[in-house]
Amino acid sequence: MSRLEAKKPSLCKSEPLTSERVRTTLSALKGIVASCYGPSGRLKQLHNGLGGSVCTTSQSSTLLANLSVSHPILKILTTSVQNHVSCFSDCGLFAAILCCNLIENVQRLGLTPATAIKLNKHLLSLCTSYLKSEICGCRIPVDFSSTQILLCLVRSVLTSKPACMLTRKEVDHISTLILRAFLLTIPENAGDHIILGNSIIVPLKGQRVVDSTVLPGILIEMPEVRLMKILPVKKSDSLKVALFRVSLSGDLSDTGEGSVVVNFGVSLENAVLDQLLNLGRQLVSDHVNLVLCQKVIHPSLKQFLGEHRVLAIDRVGAALMEPLSKVTGTHPIGSLGSVSPSSYGSVKDLCTEKFGFKWFFHLIPNEATVCSLLLCNRNGTAWDELKLTCQTALHVLQLTIKEPCVLLGGGCTETHLAAYIRHKTFNDPESILKDCGCTPTELQLIAEAFCSALESLTGSLEHDGGEILTDMKYGHFWSVQADSPSVGNWPDLLTRCGCGLYNSREELSWSFLKTARHPFAPLPCLPHEAVGSANNLTLDCFTAKLSGLQVAVETANLILDLSYVIEDKN
């Protein structure tokens, strides 16, 4: 019996952000996420004290999913970042760090939340409209006639996840594989409406990364013993395929709510088996070469099919059904009776292949947008991390097709944006003031908080104690090693900016990011020849970064707007 308990009263706290506890937990979270950021980010080892596997990661999705945060404010922050990641895969850490920075900076100012929120929102809209505009100096249009930019994009995603443990050579190998897998999912003759296929990631742990490969079609894993039993099928230019959704094991399907009474001597097993064998005969007479079943095939039927040199593969699983029907062009069959000839499909060829210690059936399609990415890595956790990274990269490529441009990575977009906002609020504050109804001082304070949040975000890219600079022409990000001799001879100490677009030999002047600078207008409009010549750029996904920026500012605003926290203690 369930007892009706009187509810405990909730705990109500006012002005949650001013409490010391919230501040320390917020900065602790910031410390965790900021130290993971970037190619040289530190790895986090997550392990449950009660057992379970240990996982090494630096990705926001794994990190935040496993982190149990207690305070509701942090919960808002982490869930909003997780939701962003589940939509866009990339830029999770970016959003988390920016959000923490913004809250910290604005909180320190002590302005009323109303003005802070209004101005933050306005600055965000300045950023988004600049990033979307043609004159944006940190955006590169994607040229789909060459793979260079796409390859740079994938490589940037891979290098920013150090827990994959890839060497330089391996990064090159995996990024070409990912790009190939992505290109295989694009239909050849697409109309005005492109439907991308999918690439299935097949795990192969314990192998060298360079053994990874991409194959068109579908790989079905198969124990070696069973493979040996299968006789070679007769060769023709294409194979006829039947794909069953319904179980062929001879079990009686749903008989309804009443009861079925079977008289003595009546053998339902025989009746069902007869039915199955009839079906087998029909399949044989229809010249089907390959029978695939989502569920189990009855051994007798299997043997019957085998005798007639029809290959039968069962227990395919629900996940593979959709790609299989796409690859073969079949309608999944749901009937044990007559099978309509229109439900059969075909594959070009079928072969068995061995990768590592595993055997696979390889269905080679005539023409389809499904491919298999056989992914290898040395150990389990590194493989998990690599798989997530590959999914991120594939997703980022899909997003790039929708919005054909990329942003400069390596911190250059952030410093450039900060320089732009500084310049804009310094030189043209009237329009903002008119909209928001605040004083110029308030605007300057919030703009400074916003820009320094962006800049200290790029600061998190540097984990080895180096110094961070920005140039006064493009507003890009430059870092110098920790033990460099002295300040002064910058062109010698610096080599390339964060994204790799500019080198230090140009006539530039630098300044430390932490020190105050006079606002300057960063040079808009990238020179096209510069983009063309540079072949090793660090790039970020435009859509993901833009959304990350929006989510970070919106979440920060949300948290700044809280006046009470009511905790239900039941």
Partner 1 sequence: MAAEGAVKAALQVAQALETIVSGCVGPEGRQVLCTKPTGEVLLSRDGGRLLAALHLEHPLARVMVACISSHLRKTGDGAKTFIIFLCHLLRGLEAVADKEKDSLISKNIQTHGRYWKTCCRWKFISQALLTFQTQILDCVVDRYLRRHFLSIFSSPTKERSLCRSSFKLLLEAYFGGRVGRNNHSFISQLMCDYFFKCMACESGLEEAFELVDDCFGELSVGVTGLPVSDSRILAGLVLHRDFSVYCPAGGDIRTALVTETIQPLFTTSGSEFILNSEAQFQTSQLWIMERTKAIMKSLQNHNVKLLLSSVKQPDLVIYYAELNGVSVVECLSSEEISLIQRITGLSPLVLPQASSQYEISSTALVKFYKPLVLRSKRYVHLGLISTCSFIPHCIVLCGPVQGLVEQHEAALHGAFKMLRQLFKDLDLSYLTQTSDQNYVPSPLIYKNRESNQLADTVNGSIQRPHQDPVEKNEGELAKTHTYLKVYSNSVVPSVELETHIFRSTPKVTPAGTQQTDEALRCLSANKTRIMDDHDLFIDGDPTTESTAENTRIEASYENVSITKMGGKGSMLPVRCKSLEMGTSQSYCFSSISAGCVLPVGGHFEILLHYYLLNYVKKCQQSEAIMVGTIIANALLGIPKILYKSKRGNQSFPQVYVRALHTLQTNQPMVGSQTGLESVSGKYQLLTSVLQCLAKIVTIDLVISIKRQPQEVYDQESEEEL
Letters for 210-249 (x = contact with partner 1 by CB under 8 A, - = none) are: -----------------------------------xx---
Give long-range contacts, CB 8 A cutoff, 24+ apart: 351-359. Answer: 352/222, 352/227, 352/230, 353/219, 355/204, 355/207, 355/211, 355/213, 356/204, 356/206, 356/207, 356/211, 358/204, 358/221, 359/221, 359/222, 359/223, 359/224, 359/227
Q: What is the DSSP string of 35-74?
A: HH-STTPPPEEE--TTSS--EEE--HHHHHHH----SHHH
The encoded tokens of residue 182 equal 């992505």
- Angstrom CA distances, 473 to 291, 426, 492, 506, 509, stand at 66, 17, 18, 10, 7
Smallest separation, CB 116 to partner 1 (Å): 10
126 with 394: CB under 8 angstroms? no
Site for partner 1 in 337-356 (CB under 8 A): 337, 340, 342-343
Per-residue contact string for residues 508-547; x = within reach of partner 1 by CB under 8 A:
---------------------------------------x
Start-to-end CA distance of the chain, whole Å, equals 19
Selected range binding partner 1 among 152-160, 233-241, 434-442, 557-565, rule: CB under 8 A: 557-565
The torsion of the CA quartet 65, 70, 73, 75, rounded to 10 degrees, works out to 20
Interaction of residue 109 with partner 1, rule CB under 8 A: no
> Whose Cβ is closer to partner 1: residue 1's or residue 225's?
1
Nearer to partner 1, 114 or 487 (CB): 114
Shortest Å distance, C-beta 269 to partner 1: 10
Q: Establish if 72 lies at the interface with partner 1 (CB under 8 A).
A: yes
Selected range binding partner 1 among 6-14, 143-151, 385-393, 534-542, rule: CB under 8 A: 6-14
Beta strands in 429-538 (DSSP E): 467-471, 477-480, 510-512
402 touches partner 1 by CB under 8 A:
no
Q: What DSSP character marks residue 258?
A: S
Q: In the bound complex, what is the minimum distance in angstroms from residue 196's beta carbon to partner 1?
A: 11
Q: Are strands 44-46 and 345-347 parallel, antiparallel or unpaired?
A: unpaired
User: Restricting to residues 14-33, which ones interact with partner 1 according to CB under 8 A?
Assistant: 14, 16
Q: Is residue 121 near partner 1 by the rule CB under 8 A?
A: yes
* CA 529/CA 532 separation, integer angstroms: 5
CA torsion, points 362, 364, 365, 366, in degrees to nearest 10?
A: -170
Provide, rounded to whole angstroms, the least separation between the CB of residue 3 and partner 1.
6
Report the residue from 111, 179, 347, 565 that binds partner 1 according to the rule CB under 8 A. Answer: 565
> Cβ closer to partner 1: 75 or 208?
75
Angle of the 542-560 helix axis to the 380-402 helix axis, nearest 10: 100
User: CB atoms < 10 A from the CB of 559, how many?
Assistant: 24
Q: What is the nearest approach in angstroms of partner 1 to the Cβ of residue 250?
A: 12
Least distance CB 291 / partner 1 (angstroms) = 16
Separation between Cα atoms, residue 312 and residue 300, nearest integer Å: 12
| Of 80 and 175, CB closest to partner 1 | 80
In whole angstroms, the minimum distance from the beta carbon of 312 to partner 1 comes to: 18
Choosing from 53, 238, 267, 303, the residue that interacts with partner 1 (CB under 8 A) is: 267
Which residues between 179 and 198 bind partner 1 (CB under 8 A)? Answer: none
Within positions 275 to 294, which residues make up the interface with partner 1, using CB under 8 A? Answer: 275
Residue with tokens 């909003």: 80
Residue span binding partner 1 (CB under 8 A) among the ranges 268-276, 310-318, 366-374, 470-478: 268-276
Verify binding: residue 206, partner 1, rule CB under 8 A.
no
Q: Tell which residue, 477, 552, 488, has the closest CA to residue 522.
A: 477
Under the criterion CB under 8 A, does residue 335 sit at the interface with partner 1?
A: yes
Candidate ranges 74-82, 344-352, 482-490, 532-540; the one touching partner 1 (CB under 8 A):
74-82
Q: How many CB atoms lie within 10 A of CB 74?
A: 18
The answer to whether the Cα torsion of 285, 288, 292, 298 is positive or negative is positive
CB closer to partner 1, 75 vs 528: 75
Q: Does 271 help bind partner 1 (rule: CB under 8 A)?
A: yes
Task: Tell me how far, at minimum, the Cβ of 385 lies from partner 1, in Å.
Answer: 21
